[in-house]
Amino acid sequence: MFDHFVWSVLVIPAAVVVIAALLADRLPPAAGVVALAWSAAVAAVAAFVSLGTFTVKAAGEVPWIAARFGLSQRTIVQDTVHVRWVSWVSVVMLAYAAHAAVRVWRRHRRGREFVREVAELPDLEQVVLIESDEIDALAVPGRPGRIVVTTGMRAVLDDDQFAVLVAHERAHLEADHFRLMLMAELAGAAHPALRWVAHRVSYLIERAADERAVGTVGDRRAVARAIGVAALAANRRPAADSSLRLSFARAVRPGEVPRRVAELLTPRRSRYFTWPAIIPLLLAAGSMVWAMEAVRDLYQLLTLAGSSGP
């Protein structure tokens, strides 16, 4: 069973990160978001399943548990006798992954409280203007989805720039970016190697929304100018944290907003290819195959241990 741990927990998640690093800037942003979010999520689930199988094996290595279920503890131990640490390391890794994933989920649930507040607003327009000195805007998923803009943000944008902001936030709603972001963040929480992919997905989501805004307003420079104006104003006035925010003018990491502006002003469409998006997805699918093999091998091991007796 040790080879399943190596491939699905160590090798393939690291390979997904490497491939994502190589391909992220070569894929169209919308395709990159979907490919990286799904590959990270599937690879994380596969690692989680593999860790779970080794955790069950670790339990079977405890004499009183093996005796309680009529299993041969010696048979279970013998399967990985030269790497006995793997079962117990898996217990620790699984506990960490579960704890981290629950924290991410709870953070998003707290953000949902804001969603409920917005959902209770009068059913007027999709764009809702709220009184606040903060320089901010966000899309709120739901039925219907809403675009919430602070009066502080509206005051710093002219009409054309405000149209860019609305198109950008509407792209988040239409492409279901919040679900993809949650998938990537849960994957990064469950497996530390996949955190970089989650950060990359966050950036590509903003790039994808920028490109959709370009398609709506028809002017790349106008979109770049609107982002720049909003970012400069937002940096002077920090916003309150919201776990649901995919921000028009703020970045998870320093330098992302200038990079978005540069991508808009110097488009690289001639260097974009969609077909490589299949590579990380195939890697993640392979990891899931290894995880299912681990489950099958565990079943066979427990069957053999049961027939061997305590």
Q: Under a CB-based contact definition with an 8 Å cutoff, are residues 266 and 21 in contact?
A: no
Structurally, the chain folds into a number of domains equal to 1
Q: Dihedral through CA 178, CA 179, CA 180, CA 186, nearest 10?
A: 110
At 243 the pLDDT is: 47
The pLDDT assigned to 305 comes to 92
User: Among 55, 40, 37, which Cα is nearest to 98's?
Assistant: 55
Question: How high is the pLDDT of residue 131?
Answer: 86
pLDDT at 141: 81
Q: Which residues share a beta bridge with 137?
A: 149
Distance CA 200, CA 224 (A): 20
Predicted local distance difference test score (pLDDT) of residue 274: 84
Taking 50 as the pLDDT cut, the residues of the chain under it are 242-244
Rounded to 5 degrees, what angle do the CA atoms 264, 241, 173 make? 50
Print the domain residue range for 71.
2-308
pTM value is: 0.89
Would you state the structure tokens that stand for residue 101, as one six-digit string? 């994933």
- pLDDT of amino acid 134: 84
- Nearest partner of 264 among 307, 234, 221, 206, judged by Cα: 221
pLDDT at residue 250 in the model: 67
Give the pLDDT score at 218. 93
Q: What pLDDT is stored for residue 114 in this prediction?
A: 62
Instruction: Tokens 């970016």: give the residue.
Output: 177
Tell me the pLDDT tens digit for each residue of 75-127. Answer: 999 998 889 899 999 999 999 999 999 999 988 877 666 655 655 555 556 78
pLDDT of amino acid 107:
85
Under 8 Å between Cβ of 16 and 284 = yes
Distance separating alpha carbons of residues 132 and 202, to the nearest angstrom = 25
